[in-house]
Amino acid sequence: MRQETYVNLWRGMDRFRGESDVRTWVYRVALNSCVSFFRRNRRADAHIPLSALTDVADVGCNRNELISEMHRLINRLDHVEKAMILFWLDGYPYDAIADVMAMSRNTVASRLKRIKEKLVRYSEE
């Protein structure tokens, strides 16, 4: 997914109009790349690349098991929720996610809270 984002940035450089900060544009291209990826892989058995989850902390259990479980849970989310949680897992601040997702910081905070609660519920099923 990261490589696809770089390719999309390269291809879209001539379309960047400079009306916003370049970081906002990069975030937006990254989001669109994620959304496109999830749309193409909408099948029930679609998987998030493990490289997208490399920053997940090891909390005392087997790292591969943890990543596999996170992978399974995140795949149950819709494509917008997946993009939001992956940005959050990648360490993006709420303000940056808000810019990319074109929503307020408070909306990002409340949606991420609900997404995290949903993931907890999924893990308890």
Write out pLDDT tens, residues 87-104.
Answer: 888 888 898 888 888 899
Question: Is this structure's pTM higher than 0.75?
Answer: no
Domain count for the chain: 1
Distances (CA, A) of 78 to 25, 39, 62, 74, 82: 23, 10, 27, 9, 6
Q: Is the pLDDT of residue 66 over 50?
A: yes
Among 35, 69, 73, 71, residue whose Cα is nearest residue 53: 71
Query: Rounded CA gap, 38 and 81, in Å?
Result: 11
List the domain range (segments joined by +) for residue 107. Answer: 2-124
Averaged pLDDT of the chain: 75
pLDDT of residue 59: 39
User: 123 is written with which tokens?
Assistant: 């893990």
8 Å CB contact between 123 and 69: yes
